[in-house]
Each structure stands twice: as structure tokens, then as C-alpha cells.
């Protein structure tokens, strides 16, 4: 598995290094100007933030209801990546908003629900770290609530009044803006897959170490 992750990380790093040149070649947006270029990193981060929550929720469901022990490692890995990509989304967004909207933050449904999902991931990881025995099951329950938040975050900009652009922005992008966006999205997705695989490998190795310690104690 790790033989695959190294080229994935190398390729995505190379793509992310090339990204500023490709983004620079994209045209300026008429009302926001230069600051709109934050979008090329903000959008992939935000989508992968939501994807993390779905992966974490599905594996938590498998762990809780189908008793698949290995699913817990994937859920934990996805939660950690959710925190990372959530932080990227919640930092790049306000940097863009400061120029585009004149404020760092507004308590609108999209921003507030995204912050809530980020806090759910933070709570999940704190519970896993400090919760003691049984915290894996409690955290899995919490991850299911996190996953339920995803459709709400996605449609919030179309249903409620908000300053945030609607979901129709991306499909209607002109080609010269779409190419850098999908280039960055591919780079981020490859990085995400590689990091998720590495993080899950770490958790599987930890399980092996624990099993060996237990075997030593019994012997």
C-alpha cells in the first residue's frame, strides 16, 4: 500500500507546486479581482472536508452496526483528515471573505454549519484521545451526526439567504477558470487519498503493536 502512496504524494506535491503558475494564468473575476484566486484552493479543501465526513460516517456505521473492527481505523483516519481539510477551508474562506465581503466572518448557514462540522471532528478526535475505554463507540455515534450535517452544508447556500456563492458557480465556470480549478482539485484529491491510506496504515500498525504486547503479556 505504501508503495502506491509515495508516488501519489510526490505527484500531488508536484501539481501543487505548479498550481500557482496555472492559477496565475486564469482570468480575474470581475467583481472580486485577485482575491477570488483563493477559490482554487478553497473549493477542493471544502469538498474534501465534506468527503472526509462521509467516509468517517460510513466507516463508523460499519464499525458500530456491522462490527467491522478495521472500519474504525478508516473512520479515525478520515476524522483526522476532516480536521485538516476543515482547517484549510475555515482559514482560506475568511481570508477571501475579508476582501470580497468586507468582513472575516458572517454567521450564515454555510459558514456556521461548516464550523459545526469542524467542531464535531475536533470533539471526535478529543474523545478518541482522552475518552478512555468505550470512547471508540461514542465517537462513532458522533461521526454519524457529523455525516448528517453534510447535505445541510451543501444545500444551505441554495436554500437560505447567504453571502456565500451558490453551488451553481462551479458547473457554470468558464473553461479558463475551470481548468485551474479541476487541476487543483485533482492534486488535492490525490493528496487526500495518499494521506488517508498512510494514516490508516499507521492505525493498522498500531493495532498490530497492541496485539503483540497483549500476546507478550499472556505468554
Partner 1 sequence: MKRVMRVMRVMRVWILLATLLGAPTVAVADQPQPPKEFVPVDEVPPGEQIPAINLVAAAYGFVWVAVLGYVWSIAKRLKQVETELADLETRRK
Binding site for partner 1 (CB under 8 A): 9, 16, 20, 26-39, 41-42, 45, 84, 87-88, 91-92, 95-96, 98-99, 157, 159-166, 168-169, 172-174, 176-177, 191, 195, 198-199, 201-202, 205-206, 208-209, 212-213, 215-216
Asked whether the CA dihedral 213, 214, 218, 219 is positive or negative, the reply is: negative
**Minimum gap (Å) between residue 217 Cβ and partner 1:** 12
Q: How far is the CB of 150 from partner 1 (least distance, A)?
A: 20
> From the CB of 138, what's the least distance to partner 1, in Å?
23
Does residue 97 contact residue 38 with C-beta atoms inside 8 Å? no
Cβ(184)–Cβ(23) below 8 Å: yes
Cα 109 to Cα 40, 151, 156, 159, 162, distances in angstroms: 22, 12, 6, 9, 7
* Minimum gap (Å) between residue 60 Cβ and partner 1: 21
Smallest gap from Cβ 136 to partner 1, in A, equals: 18
Q: Give how far Cα 70 sits from Cα of 75, 78, 155, 204, Å.
A: 9, 13, 32, 8
Residue 62 or 110: the one with the smaller Cβ distance to partner 1 is: 110
CB nearer partner 1, residue 42 or residue 128: 42
Tell me whether residue 126 or residue 206 sits nearer to partner 1 (CB atom): 206
Query: Which residue lies nearer to partner 1 by CB, 138 or 207?
Result: 207
Residue nearer to partner 1 on the CB measure, 149 or 201: 201
In sequence order, which residues have a C-beta less than 8 Å from that of residue 126 and are 6 or more positions away?
none
Contact 89, 46 (CB under 8 A): yes
- Helix, strand or coil, per DSSP, at residue 128: helix
Amino acid at each position: 500500500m505504501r508503495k502506491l502512496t509515495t508516488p501519489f504524494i510526490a505527484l500531488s506535491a508536484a501539481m501543487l507546486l505548479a498550481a500557482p503558475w496555472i492559477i496565475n494564468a486564469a482570468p480575474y473575476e470581475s467583481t472580486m479581482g485577485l482575491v477570488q484566486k483563493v477559490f482554487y484552493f478553497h473549493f477542493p479543501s471544502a469538498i474534501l472536508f465534506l468527503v472526509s465526513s462521509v467516509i468517517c460516517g460510513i466507516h463508523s456505521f460499519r464499525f458500530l452496526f456491522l462490527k467491522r473492527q478495521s472500519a474504525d481505523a478508516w473512520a479515525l483516519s478520515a476524522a483526522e483528515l476532516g480536521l485538516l481539510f476543515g482547517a484549510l477551508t475555515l482559514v482560506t474562506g475568511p481570508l477571501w471573505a475579508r476582501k470580497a465581503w468586507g468582513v472575516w466572518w458572517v454567521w450564515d448557514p454555510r459558514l456556521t454549519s461548516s464550523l459545526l462540522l469542524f467542531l464535531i471532528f475536533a470533539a471526535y478526535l478529543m474523545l478518541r484521545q482522552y475518552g478512555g475505554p468505550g470512547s471508540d463507540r461514542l465517537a462513532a455515534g458522533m461521526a454519524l451526526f457529523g455525516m448528517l450535517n453534510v447535505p445541510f452544508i451543501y444545500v444551505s447556500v441554495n436554500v437560505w439567504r447567504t453571502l456565500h456563492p451558490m453551488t451553481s458557480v462551479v458547473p457554470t465556470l468558464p473553461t479558463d477558470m475551470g481548468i485551474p480549478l479541476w487541476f487543483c482539485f485533482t492534486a488535492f484529491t490525490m493528496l487526500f487519498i495518499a494521506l488517508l491510506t498512510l494514516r490508516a496504515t499507521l492505525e493498522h500498525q498500531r493495532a498490530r503493536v497492541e496485539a503483540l504486547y497483549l500476546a507478550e503479556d499472556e505468554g
